A and B are shown apart, each in its own frame.
Chain A
Amino acid sequence: MRIPVSALFGLVLTGVFLFTAIFAQWIAPYPIDAAVGGVWEGPSARFWLGTDTIGRDILSRLIYGGQITIFVALASSLLSFGLGSFFGFLAATRGGWTDQILSRVVDLMMAIPALIVALVMLSVLPLNLTVLILVMGVLDSTRVFRLARAVAMDIAVMDYVEAAKLRGEKQRWVIFREILPNALSPLVAEFGVRFIFAVLFISTLSFLGLGIQPPLADWGGMVKENKDGLIYGKGAALMPAAAIALLAISVNLVADWVLTRTSSLKGGRGG
């Protein structure tokens, strides 16, 4: 099987990001919250990416920040994915009132931009990791719901599903053996897209001061901390910004590739 260059680039980079996030403690040269140099020092042999607004090593903070960003994004996209696909399948296979109620609730949630809803909710809720993950996961599950429901509906009207029902198969078999294997590949590609969305979402919230709270820092928060430096020509804020962009682009490339691969395999073998 041939992997296109762009997808390979995305895969490798995504792998590097995951690796540094998991092993941050061992990789980062300095602790996350120690002023080890001067304010806004430029890149040097000692501080590869320079130092930040109070003299902390940017590289180390990027590595730790990546850990938080990726952890929160992964947790919330897993949540949105689990919730969305469970209820999406439920709506598609049950139909009737179940479907009506779930679909109307989702319509309502999607009638307002997710960021606005999140802002309204966060004005009341305490700001901690659990709340952030829950808010983001629930808000984003609406999109997964719509996709899962549509995919399952497409499959549910197939003759082979009807054949299974006529054969007298139980609901479990119909869902897990007939529908799910065929719904999986579009959903897997969607997971990448949801993950990117979660990365952008948490970064934006942190940047607005409503996400990860100090002393912890994620990439969005780091941009916020260092943004004033830009006016004096200090590029420290650009490092975490670039990290966000790079992660998003590389996951996007992988998701694009998975999507084209699965759509060209439509009806083909599961290999």
Chain B
Amino acid sequence: MHPVLKLVVQRIALGLLLLLAVSAVIFLGVEALPGDTAQAILGQSATPLALENLREKMGLNEPALTRYFHWLGGVLTGDLGTSLTNGTDIAQAIGQRLGNTLFLAGCAAVISVPLALILGIIAARYAGRWPDKVISGLTLATISLPEFVAAYFVIYLLTQVFPIFQPVAMVFPGMGFWSKLHAVALPVIVLVLVVLAHMMRMTRAAILNVMQSAYIETAELKGLRPIQIIWRHAFPNAIAPIVSVVVLNMAYLVVGVVVVEVVFGYNALGQYLVDHVTKRDLPVVQAVGLVFAGVYIGLNILADVIAIVANPRLRHPK
């Protein structure tokens, strides 16, 4: 087998193994924590009988490992169980909301990735000079903001000072693409702001790192024009680090979505998760947690695979 293919297969296998381990942590780790699910649902005033009945009903009296494998079997066949609080099917609920979350994250990605790359390249091109200082200064400010803080500044600015948008983002089935887009404008702006700084800083660092290589000096001493140097010599070597920067920030975006959804009352996966954490609805929390973990691990695998494929030493072995 070609070494690249071998490494890629290994990396994916490792990722799947990790996901399996994560599922065990999400299920068994939570079991091990002090705290009783039945008690949590019924509250402190519950009678012992009611507690016992609930435990029986939920299968809590069986060994944890048995329940884990039962749960895992369900996950693999698309059965995530039912919600404790309202008895609805979890898989169905996630299915309805996942699309909304991906739509929001997707919009943010489409705007932030090109913008971060352009700003990162400008900052690297003028490293240490004023465009770099301005860009780096602004991003230092946004890097220090949690998502919800950025969100409220943006809301105040764009709904009160300049009343352009609505402060809530409602999307519902049957809504047209453009009205959907208009509805998510504010949360997208917030997400872009938050993810942009990281991505831009890492892009800048990746390019500067490549530009300091001896082979860039060689190209300069060949009398090549700056654009030729960047295009022929810097770009092929910077592509792997930049792609992995982008993918890693997409993973970061997935988390940022949780908070932003809550801020804007956007009916999607993050909101669903937070709601059910508050209600201590463990099956929902475990299922949604696993979905987020899956997306996050998947993106990380993707970043590594791209780095492997882009490495000339691996593509053309000795």
Partners in one complex: yes
**A contact residues vs B (CB 8 Å cutoff):** 107-108, 111-113, 115-117, 119-126, 196, 200, 203-204, 207-210, 220, 223, 227, 230-231, 233, 235, 237-238, 241, 244-245, 248-249, 252-253, 256
CA distance A108 to B18 in the complex (A): 7
Known contacts A207-B148, A238-B156: A124-B40 contact under CB 8 Å: yes
Contact at B146–A120, with CB atoms within 8 Å? no
CA distance A120 to B285 in the complex (A): 6
Please classify how large the interface on chain B is, using the bins under 10, 10 to 19, 20 to 34, 35 or more: 35 or more
Contact of B296 among A113, A248, A252 (CB under 8 A): A113
Contact at B296–A111, with CB atoms within 8 Å? yes
Contact at B148–A231, with CB atoms within 8 Å? no
Least distance between A232 CB and chain B CB atoms (Å): 9
Some 6 contacts from A to B, beta carbons below 8 A apart, are A112-B289, A124-B37, A125-B34, A207-B148, A230-B152, A241-B153
Contact at B146–A203, with CB atoms within 8 Å? yes
Residue of B nearest to A122 (CB): B277
CA distance A72 to B40 in the complex (A): 25
Contact of A123 among B140, B252, B285 (CB under 8 A): B285
Known contacts A108-B21, A111-B297, A223-B152: A124-B146 contact under CB 8 Å: no
Contact at B40–A111, with CB atoms within 8 Å? no
- CB within 8 Å of A: which B120-166 residues: 140-141, 143-149, 152-153, 155-156, 159-160
Residue of A nearest to B147 (CB): A204
Please tell me if B86 contacts chain A, counting CB pairs below 8 Å.
no
Please tell me which stretch of B3-11, B174-182, B255-263 contacts chain A, meaning at least 4 of its Cβ atoms lie within 8 angstroms of it.
Answer: B255-263
**Chain B positions within 8 Å of A119 at CB level:** 258, 273-274, 277, 285, 289
Known contacts A108-B21, A124-B35, A124-B282: A238-B153 contact under CB 8 Å: yes
Residue of B nearest to A119 (CB): B277
Known contacts A113-B255, A204-B146, A208-B262: A230-B155 contact under CB 8 Å: yes
Least distance between B290 CB and chain A CB atoms (Å): 9
Least distance between A124 CB and chain B CB atoms (Å): 4
Contact at A244–B160, with CB atoms within 8 Å? no
Known contacts A124-B282, A230-B159, A230-B160: A112-B293 contact under CB 8 Å: yes
Contact of B167 among A196, A204, A231 (CB under 8 A): A231
Please tell me if B91 contacts chain A, counting CB pairs below 8 Å.
no
The list of the 4 closest CB pairs from A to B, nearest first, reads A248-B144, A124-B35, A113-B255, A241-B149
CA distance A249 to B292 in the complex (A): 29
**Chain A positions within 8 Å of B97 at CB level:** none
**Chain B positions within 8 Å of A227 at CB level:** 152, 263
Contact at B280–A123, with CB atoms within 8 Å? yes
Known contacts A124-B37, A208-B274, A231-B167: A200-B297 contact under CB 8 Å: no
**Chain B positions within 8 Å of A112 at CB level:** 22, 25-26, 289, 292-293, 296-297
Contact at A111–B258, with CB atoms within 8 Å? no
Least distance between B311 CB and chain A CB atoms (Å): 22
CA distance A120 to B284 in the complex (A): 10
Contact of B289 among A116, A223, A230 (CB under 8 A): A116
**Chain A positions within 8 Å of B144 at CB level:** 196, 245, 248-249, 252
Please tell me if B278 contacts chain A, counting CB pairs below 8 Å.
yes
**Chain B positions within 8 Å of A111 at CB level:** 18-19, 21-22, 293, 296-297, 300
Contact at B152–A237, with CB atoms within 8 Å? yes
Please tell me if B286 contacts chain A, counting CB pairs below 8 Å.
yes
Residue of B nearest to A112 (CB): B293
Least distance between B129 CB and chain A CB atoms (Å): 17
Contact at A120–B30, with CB atoms within 8 Å? yes
Contact with A along B49-82 (1 / 0, CB 8 A): 0000000000000000000000000000000000
Contact at A124–B30, with CB atoms within 8 Å? yes
Least distance between A144 CB and chain B CB atoms (Å): 19
Residue of A nearest to B278 (CB): A209
Contact at A125–B35, with CB atoms within 8 Å? yes
CA distance A117 to B286 in the complex (A): 10
Residue of B nearest to A231 (CB): B167
Please tell me if B276 contacts chain A, counting CB pairs below 8 Å.
yes
Contact with A along B191-228 (1 / 0, CB 8 A): 00000000000000000000000000000000000000
Contact at A120–B167, with CB atoms within 8 Å? no
